[in-house]
Amino acid sequence: MAENLIDLKRRINSVKNTQKITRAMKTVAAAKLRKNVKKLNRTEGFMRKIEYLLNRVGKKLDYKDFPLFKEKEEGKVVIVALSSDKGLCGAFNSHTIKEVEDYYKHLEEEKEEVLFITSGNKIYRNLNKKGFIIEKDYKSIMSDLKFSDSVQLSEYLQEIYLNRDIKRVEFVYTEFISSSKQETTVKQILPLKIENREDEMEELEIKYIFEPSSQEIFEYILPKYVNSLVYRILLGSIASEHAARMIAMDIATRNANDMIKSLTLTMNKLRQASITKELLEIITATEALKR
């Protein structure tokens, strides 16, 4: 009985220590989430403005004249798969991995040849273990993302799309919608399709004079737009990771609390049973002495 009580006390202390860790991890994940959401929100205004400028400048241009807009009939499909570098974020990585595998099977059925590019240790290890050929892996950029890192990835994707037999480039990642909702999605970035933002902004009847030509301005802005688009996707994936980790650690903390209550109740029952047994032994001994 005494040994059982000692074991229960040790287990309760162990669960309490684990609870302290999960609570701290939740706090850290929440702070990182707020930081990344601020960055994500800042990119929204920039993206809206640059899309508006591209639409404005490109009014009299034919998008088909620009290589990044040209649709190809044949070629490989590039899948850029994003995950986290670390675990303890619930089903965040497993959902992304499942989406990548399901989409790969879909492309196989359509007789498409696939090229993988990864960012995030979890997705890289999983695909590598299952025998998928990975063209390039961007190690550890998801842990501490810088705009220059996203530019390197963006420029590489543009280079292979323009110079190699690539049909389209697509990202498979978890899109951030809110702190309580994230969705695994497939998003095509090349060939480009620019959303028309003119209806959302005040339209001024002004005749612009472009210097240099509108085509040169368009060509200059276009790569920057792709860089920003890739950066936004990476930020969304990272924000989703922190949100998933925050939720997972919150659930773990609450489960630890439930476990502590359950173990404490069991320990109290054992202690009460021990006291009752001792009282019965004393009463029995007293009665025996009286006789």
What is the CATH classification number for the domain harbouring 185? 3.40.1380.10
Tokens of 84: 């986290």
Q: Are residues 192 and 240 in the same domain?
A: yes
Its pTM stands at 0.86
Q: Are residues 184 and 135 in the same domain?
A: yes
Q: Are residues 126 and 140 in the same domain?
A: yes
Answer yes or no: are the C-beta atoms of 48 and 54 closer than 8 Å.
no
Answer yes or no: are the C-beta atoms of 97 and 61 closer than 8 Å.
no
Q: Are residues 139 and 243 in the same domain?
A: yes
Q: Are residues 208 and 263 in the same domain?
A: no
Q: Are residues 59 and 100 in the same domain?
A: yes
Cα angle at 250 between 262 and 122, to 5 degrees?
120
Q: Give the number of other Cβ atoms within 10 Å of residue 26's Cβ.
A: 19
Q: Are residues 199 and 212 in the same domain?
A: yes
Of the three residues 247, 264, 282, the one that is the final residue of a domain is 247
Strand pairing partners for 105? none
Q: Are residues 232 and 256 in the same domain?
A: no
185-207: per-residue pLDDT in tens? Answer: 999 999 998 766 555 444 555 66
Nearest CA to 103 among 72, 132, 125? 132
Strand pairing partners for 186? 172
Q: Are residues 72 and 159 in the same domain?
A: yes
Q: What is the pLDDT of residue 201?
A: 47
Please list the ranges in the chain whose pLDDT falls under 50: 200-202
Name the residue range of residue 252's domain. Answer: 2-25+248-290
Answer yes or no: are the C-beta atoms of 233 and 171 closer than 8 Å.
yes
CA distance 169 to 195: 17
Q: Are residues 126 and 145 in the same domain?
A: yes
